[in-house]
Amino acid sequence: MTKATFIAIFMVILALGTLMKETQGQELCHEYFVEPQICNPTQCVNQCTTKWKGSGKCIGGTKNCICTFNCKN
C-alpha cells in the first residue's frame, strides 16, 4: 500500500511539474507599427510574422498595426 501511495504522489508531482513548465514563459508582448497609409491587413500580418513570429492585426481604419508575440522569442 505504501509503495502504491508513493507512486501515486510521485505521478501527481510529475504531472504538475510538467504543466508548470509548459505555462511558464508564455507572457505576450505587443509592438505597434505605424504604417504610412491606412493599415493593410496582409502587410501587417507579414511584418509581425517576419519580425517576431507573431500575429498582426490592424486597428480599425487607422494607420496602426498591433503585433502580438511570445515574449521569449
Q: Judge residue 51's burial from the number of C-beta atoms within 10 Å of its C-beta, 0-12 exposed, 13-18 middle, 19 or more buried.
A: middle
Positive or negative: CA dihedral 51, 52, 56, 58: negative
Q: What is the pLDDT of residue 61?
A: 87
With a cut of 70, which residues of the chain have pLDDT below it? 1, 3-25, 73
Q: Taking the model in full, what pTM does it have? A: 0.59
d(CA 64, CA 17): 40
Q: Judge residue 12's burial from the number of C-beta atoms within 10 Å of its C-beta, 0-12 exposed, 13-18 middle, 19 or more buried.
A: exposed
Q: Residue 10: which domain range?
A: 2-70
For 53-64, how does the pLDDT look when each residue is reduced to its tens digit (9 = 90+)?
999 999 988 999
Q: Specify the number of domains making up the chain.
A: 1
